[in-house]
């Protein structure tokens, strides 16, 4: 199941072709709508357990991990599932069931869009 | 008053000399300690009003804004103050009182460190 529809404003044609939801934070004040979209992504990474799970998926071989590979973060399995669901809802992960296991992948276009938000524009350089 | 002591792991010698708290999210699974530090920064930007205030400061002339310049986000002055305090506590803004007004500045090294976290490593490329 893909969650790309959650963030329709991001359209990636490849790892380099990223159209982020918003300009760099240093470019101009965000509109209320841009802030809503971007805050959702930041909030998803604003929890230590979610961040550990996300980096476990992101750094796993081929950028994909079975839930069985990434549960070693000191919380219960239901809590792991809850946090993975939040990451999917924010568009940061996608998942696919293959046989017994669910596999999670990082959505590289979303990661790149968030990175772009944080680039330093002329005002801060 | 400077808040750089809030994030002692980040030592910047200039806009380009950033030693972030953590490796890129795609490099290896974060440790619990790294996740705590990084999640604090992401959480600070995980609120739409805070994100609008932050982008208002970041995009203002010379990367600095008086609180009088950035209060146009549809919330009360005490709420603006509360959110600016949260951004300072996360190390994203510093502030200085000059005469009547408090001026806020973006901490470029923190912004750069967050951007670096989100760079795509070999696993996701």
Q: HSE (CB half, 13 Å, CA atoms) of B125? A: 6
CB contact under 8 A, A111 and B123: no
CA distance B10 to B27: 19
List the single residue in A with minimal CA-CA distance to B125: A15
Chain A, chain B: beta-carbon pairs less than 8 Å apart: 161
How does the average pLDDT of chain A come out, rounded? 80
CA distance B4 to A41: 25
List the single residue in B with minimal CA-CA distance to A105: B124
Q: In this predicted model, what pLDDT tens digit does every residue of B1-52 receive, in sequence order? A: 444 434 434 433 433 334 457 888 888 999 999 999 899 999 999 999 999 9
The answer to whether B32 touches A74, Cβ cutoff 8 Å, is yes
CA of B93 vs chain A CAs: smallest distance (Å): 12
CA distance A69 to A86: 18
Q: What interface predicted TM-score (ipTM) does this complex get? A: 0.77
pTM, two decimals, is 0.77
Residues whose CB is less than 8 angstroms from the CB of residue A108 and which lie 6 or more positions away in sequence, other chains included: A12, A15, A63, B120, B124, B125
Q: Please name which of B80, B86, B88 lies closest in space to residue B46, comparing C-alpha atoms.
A: B86
Q: What percent of chain B has pLDDT over 90?
A: 46
For chain B, helix (H) and strand (E) counts, in that order, are 4, 3
pLDDT at A54 over 60: yes
CA distance A28 to A42: 18
Q: In this predicted model, what pLDDT tens digit does every residue of A91-114 receive, in sequence order? A: 899 999 999 999 999 988 888 888
How does the average pLDDT of chain B come out, rounded? 80
Q: Please name which of A106, A74, A26, A13 lies closest in space to residue B65, comparing C-alpha atoms.
A: A26
């Amino acid at each position: 199941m893909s969650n790309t529809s959650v963030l329709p404003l991001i359209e990636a044609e490849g790892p380099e072709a990223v159209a982020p939801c918003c300009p760099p934070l240093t470019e101009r004040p965000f509109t209320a709508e841009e802030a809503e979209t971007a805050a959702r992504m930041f909030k998803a990474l604003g929890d230590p357990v979610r961040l550990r799970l996300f980096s476990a998926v992101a750094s796993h071989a081929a950028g994909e991990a079975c839930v069985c590979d990434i549960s070693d973060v000191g919380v219960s399995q239901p809590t792991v599932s809850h946090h993975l669901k939040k990451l999917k809802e924010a568009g940061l992960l996608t998942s696919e069931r293959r046989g017994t296991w669910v596999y999670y992948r990082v959505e590289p276009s979303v990661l790149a869009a968030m990175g772009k938000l944080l680039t330093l524009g002329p005002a801060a350089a």
